Amino acid sequence: MSIESFGTRLRRVMDERGPLCVGIDPHASLLSAWGLDDTLAGLETFTRISVEALAETVAVVKPQAAFFERFGSRGVAVLEKAVAELRSAGTLVVMDAKRGDIGSTMAAYAEAFLRKDSPLFSDALTVSPYLGYGSLQPAVSLARENGAGLFVLALTSNPEGGEVQHAVRADGRNIGATMLAHLAEENSGAEPMGSFGAVVGATLGDLSSYELDINGPLLAPGIGAQGATPADLPSVFGSAVRNVVPNVSRGVLKAGPSVPALRSAAERFADEVRAAVAGA
């Protein structure tokens, strides 16, 4: 039996639930705002409530690995449990771990997140291409084999990103555009869309000089705490907006710790995103 690709699964869940991705980012300040201690027990409660509120509510959840790794192996165990619970509720998990290294080490990172029997197996993984796009090849191969996907940092939402991503190569193309071109090649011929996405910040304003139509998903962080809004999506992404998976983390999480309040915050963003995309 052939494995269904991440791109196919993502398109389906985006059509069913809308494209919103909500992040689980247990910042120390959010733990405190939720009346929790900045301890393993606080992390466990925060994660349990977030999973309960978000599983089955949104299409995609993006746990930020850094906030779990901060607590060592027991924090990672909390992350493993969350991933399993979200996936069994039919919610796709994009693990935001931004891995990247020389190819032989990249192969081990890929096994950690993209090998079917790994405790951290996720539907997709964020990766950094700044050791060269080719160094990501082991992750591309394993993702293909297991019906998973990647999101490659192309044009990040933070103001510092331009220093690297806007640097112009000898052929006149900048680094961000080069990553988009690699991904378009990776996704060539895939239907309904490919599994190899780009991270492109919703904060970046007019991106009409970039070829964003990579036949794959565009993970767009920056909505909420970083200042972008769902209404910005059509002007930032133009005709590629149909493939955008907008991410909100703190903008939703600040509504906690009440499960219904978190759910309504996520639903409010989801409705705003749907309205913005429908009107585009």
Ligand X SMILES: O=c1ccn([C@@H]2O[C@H](COP(=O)(O)O)[C@@H](O)[C@H]2O)c(=O)[nH]1
Q: Which residues bind ligand X (CB under 6 A)?
A: 23, 25, 64, 96, 156-158, 199, 201, 221-222, 224-226, 247-251
SS3 at position 166 = coil
Which C-beta is closer to ligand X: that of 164 or that of 275?
Answer: 164
Give whichever of 153 and 184 is closer to ligand X, judged by the CB atom.
153
Q: Cβ 151 to ligand X, closest distance in Å?
A: 9
Q: Are 143 and 150 in contact (CB under 8 A)?
A: yes
Quote the CA–CA distance of 81 and 75 in Å, as a whole number: 10
Phi-psi region of 238 (alpha: psi -120 to 50; beta: other; left: phi over 0): left
Answer yes or no: are the C-beta atoms of 261 and 33 closer than 8 Å.
no
Nearer to ligand X, 147 or 178 (CB): 178
The residue among 42 and 251 lying less far from ligand X, judged by its C-beta, is 251
Query: Vertex 211, ends 208 and 213: CA angle to 5°?
Result: 110
Least distance CB 271 / ligand X (angstroms): 18
Pick 147 or 248: Cβ nearer ligand X: 248
For residue 216, the minimal CB distance to ligand X (Å) is 16
The SS3 of residue 114 is: helix
Give min distance, CB of 117 to ligand X, in A.
Answer: 26
Q: Which of 201, 166, 200 is nearest to 183 (CA)?
A: 200
Considering only CA atoms, which of 218, 246, 211 is closest in space to residue 232? 246
List, by residue number, the catalytic residues: 98
What is the three-class DSSP state of 280?
coil
- Smallest distance from ligand X to CB 13, Å: 19
Least separation, in Å, of the C-beta of 170 and ligand X? Answer: 26
Q: What DSSP element (H or E) covers 109? A: helix 103-114
Which residues make Cβ contacts (< 8 Å) with residue 53, sequence separation at least 6?
Answer: 256, 259, 260, 262, 263, 266
Closer Cβ to ligand X, 44 or 96, answer by number: 96
Distance CA 245, CA 179 (A): 18
**What is the torsion angle, in degrees rounded to the nearest 10, for the CA atoms of residue 205, residue 157, residue 60 and residue 62?**
-170
The token duo for 211 is 């070829």
